[in-house]
Amino acid sequence: MDILRFITAGSVDDGKSTLIGRLLYDSKSILADHLEAIEKSTKNKENGEIDLALLTDGLRAEREQGITIDVAYRYFSTDKRKFIIADAPGHVQYTRNMITGASNVDLAIVLIDARHGVVEQTRRHSIISSLLGIPHVVVAINKIDLVNYSEDVYDNIVIEYSKLAKQLGIENVTYIPLSALNGDNIVDRSLKTPWYEGKALLEFLEGIEIKDAVNLTDTRFQVQYVIRPQTEALHDYRGYAGKITSGIYKKGDKVKVLPAGIETTIDKIEIAGVEVEEAFAPQSVTLLLIEDIDISRGDSIVKTTEDIAATNEADVLFCWMGDKPLQNGNKYLLQHNNRRVRAVIKNLEYKIDVNSLEHIEDVQQVKLNEIVKASIKTAAPIVFDPYKKNRSNGAAILIDETSNATVAAVLFQ
């Protein structure tokens, strides 16, 4: 049984937490004691209904304010599939949390309040979904009950979002009218929307085919730890432990070590201390090479046939997550998988306007939640791929040296 990882996103009060609560409740994935606790603390006691949003809004501040702040992860399963859900906050100031939750999903559910249509936060979350290369997007037109299950309202939102999807290059979009509060089109098709001929949300999620997101073509392995037991039994043992981020490695493969560029051959491959003939992403392995080479944490081992080199400069897209503005010349730490190097911002090329999607040039600074195209220069060479080619080796983060806070998600271009 495979796993579908998806995230819910949208503007505040669009019903994301309620939608997830409804999925958990209607699929009978809630433990009895958890349900009892929710029933006792529900905010809707006057009408006897359970506040399903409390199933995901676990922080005290979330319960008090009736909003989602942190990214909440929930797990449930049906007879057909297992699911991991990330519930992203809707408030603008918590957009950076959405980036965190969306970094490793197969599908995004973008909720739209049927009364309000496509709003700024809808655009922002859709831009992020596009930049992160999320393969599938479901546009859940929620609270359809509050517009009397109007087909015209649904059609107008579909037309408006279709224009946005075309601008962003989002191809696989599915539209579903629903009411998370009442359960319309969540698990079963609703009789109140006879004009809708598609599947209910859960049926769609159970049946959608997700291509294997693991890249098995480009060989990328970054050293996390150099193993040197230096015992009498393992006097000459020198292993390089880490995770294969993409590709397949076999015993006898000709490889090169970057950034040094030294070529050698794989002598052995071990998984949990057991020698194997080959290994593939995303396995954690230990590689042993024929020659003794000076290799350190963060160095990359790739096949000699790979057209990739180490460089000190890169064009990137930043999703800015820092409270302090980003400016030209600012210095940060760049964390790319296991490699951490100092980096300086050389050029802020343009920002993306979340409403018009136009490129705003002559950028002086970048504020929280803004998206910018820029170039960076690193103090030591890095080995990366364009994000669209290889997600596992095409992303990084920027870290503020003084506060040690993550201030940006980085996508290499």
> Domain coordinates of the chain in residue numbers?
3-207, 220-303, 311-412
Output the pTM of the full model: 0.81
**220-303, CATH topology level:** Elongation Factor Tu (Ef-tu); domain 3 (2.40.30)
Q: Are strands 173-177 and 220-227 parallel, antiparallel or unpaired?
A: unpaired
> Do 3-207 and 311-412 share a fold?
no
Residue 139: its pLDDT value, please? Answer: 97
DSSP code of residue 146: G
CATH classification code of 3-207: 3.40.50.300
Task: Note whether 190 and 203 are within 8 A (CB).
Answer: no
Residue type, 363: V
Q: Following DSSP, what letter does each residue of 228-289 receive, concatenated?
A: ----STTTT--EEEEEEEESEEETT-EEEEETTTEEEEEEEEEETTEEESEEETT-EEEEEE
The CA distance from 89 to 17, in Å, is 9
CATH 3.90.1170.50 is right for the domain spanning 311-412: no
Exposed (0-12), middle (13-18) or buried (19+): which is 58, by Cβ within 10 Å? middle
pLDDT tens by residue, the chain, 413 residues:
688 999 888 877 777 778 887 888 777 766 555 555 555 555 555 555 556 566 555 433 433 444 333 456 788 888 889 998 887 665 555 566 677 777 788 999 999 999 999 998 888 889 888 988 898 999 999 999 999 999 999 999 999 999 999 999 998 999 999 998 899 999 899 999 999 999 999 999 999 988 766 889 999 999 999 999 877 777 789 999 999 999 999 999 999 999 999 999 999 999 999 999 999 999 999 999 999 899 999 999 999 999 998 999 999 999 898 889 999 999 999 999 999 999 999 999 999 887 778 899 989 999 988 899 999 999 999 999 999 899 889 999 999 999 999 999 999 99
Give 385-403 pLDDT, tens digit per residue: 999 899 889 999 999 999 9
Residue 62: its pLDDT value, please? Answer: 38
Q: Which residue's structure tokens are 């970094």?
A: 103
Residue 118: its pLDDT value, please? Answer: 93
Residue 12: its pLDDT value, please? Answer: 72
The CA distance from 152 to 136, in Å, is 25
Give 164-185 pLDDT, tens digit per residue: 999 999 989 999 999 988 999 9
Residue type, 129: S
